[in-house]
């Protein structure tokens, strides 16, 4: 008998006061689920609810309370999952002025971050273009969210690093104001930064070395192999040790009153024929790169966790033509398991693709906050 990877799927989603929804309960297929409807009916919000339950935050809006239905005081999301045959219930509640609660099987988490990684998810959305067009912070956040989904320790180190960094920056400001600069203080912040920072650097390096070949395959598959596109992890730690780096920048740090070097300045460069794709790639090339990156992430998490993350394809036809979408869905549907959620404005287009595949599916049509299966 061949070995099955662990299966994982969302069986039921209950929504209360989330974004445009008031109260909805949806049952899903363990394989392919589609949401069709006009623009603005809230297709993407369903995907975002699923994202929330995995990563404890919205893919689109970082302010939790702004995801509450505008006329209400709280929202609740409840996901009933099946992980390798065992039921897992995830509860997320956000209340104005009260903060956020996460529960797994009715037990509240001590720290919400402990939940991240239980149910890996990959979202492909038109909003991804920010990864190319936006600042380096977007790309770091992306890298961190991927690694955190399979490495708990990484997330803890990252939280610690950011905390120490904030203390160091506050101290630089404090010292500039008082005129008293205590080198012991900097020495001890540096010691803490180096410990977490070097670990984070190593993990990011490993991540890229393993992601790169998978990415190359997907890019070739999606583009027909015409172009030379390269992802590159950039960090000042490639050039010198973190300790040297901090020592060399301390005078600059003192003047600018913040920490000018470290892994919080890392970046992911995306190049086409050796030039930044941001300026030198066509819209189509940029979209292809992003989809390849996300699919590589999907495959990569599968390799590490032996389970297929939940794949959320938001308005995928915006990025790819029907032929490519068909190819992706075919690839995923040929896997032994793995759950996908797709949104599209054209129900017939989705139905057409699904009709050819012998895979369990469910298609919802959304109108006026009501769901009908078609």
Partner 1 sequence: MINISSKLVRDAVQELAKLPGIGAKTALRLVLHLLRQDVDTSVMLGNAIVSMRTNIKFCIKCHNIADGDYCHICTNPQRDGSTICIVENIKDVMVIENTGQFKGLYHVLGGIISPMDGIGPSHLNLDNIEKRIVENNVKEVIFALPTTIEGDTTSFYIFKKLKPLNLNITTLARGVAIGDDLEYTDEITLGRSLVNRVMYSV
Enumerate binding residues for partner 1 (CB under 8 A). 110, 152, 156, 160, 163-164, 166-168, 170-171, 173-175, 178, 180, 182, 184-185, 187-189, 191-192
CB of 342 to partner 1, least distance (A): 36
Minimum distance from CB of 161 to partner 1 (Å)?
10
Residue 293 main-chain phi, psi, to 5 deg: -60, -45
| Burial of residue 228, with CB atoms counted within 10 A of its CB: 0-12 exposed, 13-18 middle, 19 or more buried | exposed
CA–CA separation, 361 and 39 (whole Å): 22
Q: How far is the C-alpha of 246 from the C-alpha of 190, rounded, in Å?
A: 7
Question: Which of 282, 237, 291, 286 has the alpha carbon at shortest distance from 134?
Answer: 286
**Least Å distance between CB 160 and partner 1?**
6
Would you say 185 or 331 has its CB closer to partner 1? 185
Match 């662990």 to its residue by tokens: 6
CB of 184 to partner 1, least distance (A): 5
Min dist CB 170 to partner 1, Å, is 4
Nearest-approach distance from CB 235 to partner 1, in angstroms: 23
187 vs 244, beta carbon nearer partner 1: 187
Nearer of residues 170 and 280 to partner 1, judged by Cβ: 170
Nearer to partner 1, 17 or 259 (CB): 259
The Cα 123–Cα 44 span in angstroms is 11
- 187 vs 322 by CB, closer to partner 1: 187
The least CB distance from residue 148 to partner 1, in Å, is 14
Helix axes 152-178, 183-223, angle to 10 degrees: 140
Instruction: Output 152 or 210, the one with its CB closest to partner 1.
Output: 152
> What does the alpha-carbon distance between residue 166 and residue 255 come to, in Å, rounded to a whole number?
17
Closer Cβ to partner 1, 76 or 185, answer by number: 185
Q: What is the dihedral of CA 344, 348, 350, 356, to 10 degrees?
A: -170
Q: Read off φ and ψ for residue 14, nearest 5 degrees.
A: -110, 130
Instruction: Show Cβ contacts of residue 38 under 8 Å, excluding neighbours closer than 6 positions.
Output: 345, 367
Provide CB contacts within 8 A for 201, sequence distance 6+.
Answer: 235, 237, 242, 263, 266
């Amino acid at each position: 008998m061949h070995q099955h990877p662990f299966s994982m799927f969302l069986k039921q989603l209950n929504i209360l006061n989330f974004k445009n929804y008031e109260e909805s309960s949806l049952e899903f297929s363990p394989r392919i689920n589609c949401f069709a409807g006009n623009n603005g009916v809230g297709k993407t919000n369903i995907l975002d609810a699923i994202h929330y339950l995995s990563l404890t935050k919205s893919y689109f809006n970082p302010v939790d309370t702004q995801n509450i239905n505008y006329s209400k005081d709280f929202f609740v999301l409840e996901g009933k999952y099946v992980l390798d045959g065992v039921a897992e219930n995830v509860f997320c509640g956000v209340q104005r002025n009260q903060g956020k609660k996460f529960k797994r099987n009715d037990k509240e988490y001590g720290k919400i971050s402990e939940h991240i990684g239980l149910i890996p998810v990959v979202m492909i959305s038109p909003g991804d273009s920010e990864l190319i067009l936006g600042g380096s912070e977007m790309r770091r956040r992306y890298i961190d969210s991927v690694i955190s989904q399979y490495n708990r320790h990484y997330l803890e180190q990252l939280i610690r690093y950011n905390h120490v960094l904030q203390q160091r920056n506050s101290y630089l400001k404090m010292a500039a104001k008082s005129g008293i600069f205590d080198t012991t203080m900097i020495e001890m912040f540096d010691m803490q930064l180096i410990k977490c920072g070097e670990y984070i650097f190593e993990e990011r390096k490993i991540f890229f070395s393993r992601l790169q070949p998978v990415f190359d395959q997907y890019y070739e598959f999606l583009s027909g192999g015409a172009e030379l596109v390269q992802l590159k992890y950039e960090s000042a730690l490639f050039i010198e040790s973190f300790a040297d780096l901090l020592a060399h920048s301390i005078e600059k740090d003192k003047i600018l009153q913040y920490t000018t070097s470290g892994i919080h300045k890392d970046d992911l460069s995306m190049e086409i024929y050796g030039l930044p794709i941001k300026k030198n790639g066509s819209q189509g090339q940029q979209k292809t790169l992003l989809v390849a990156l996300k699919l590589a992430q999907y495959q990569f998490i599968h390799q590490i966790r032996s389970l297929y993350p939940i794949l959320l394809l938001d308005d995928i036809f915006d990025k790819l033509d029907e032929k490519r979408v068909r190819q992706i869905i075919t690839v995923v549907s040929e896997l032994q398991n793995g759950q996908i959620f797709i949104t599209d404005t054209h129900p017939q287009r989705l139905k057409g693709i699904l009709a050819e595949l012998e895979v369990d599916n469910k298609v919802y049509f959304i109108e006026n906050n009501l769901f009908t299966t078609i």
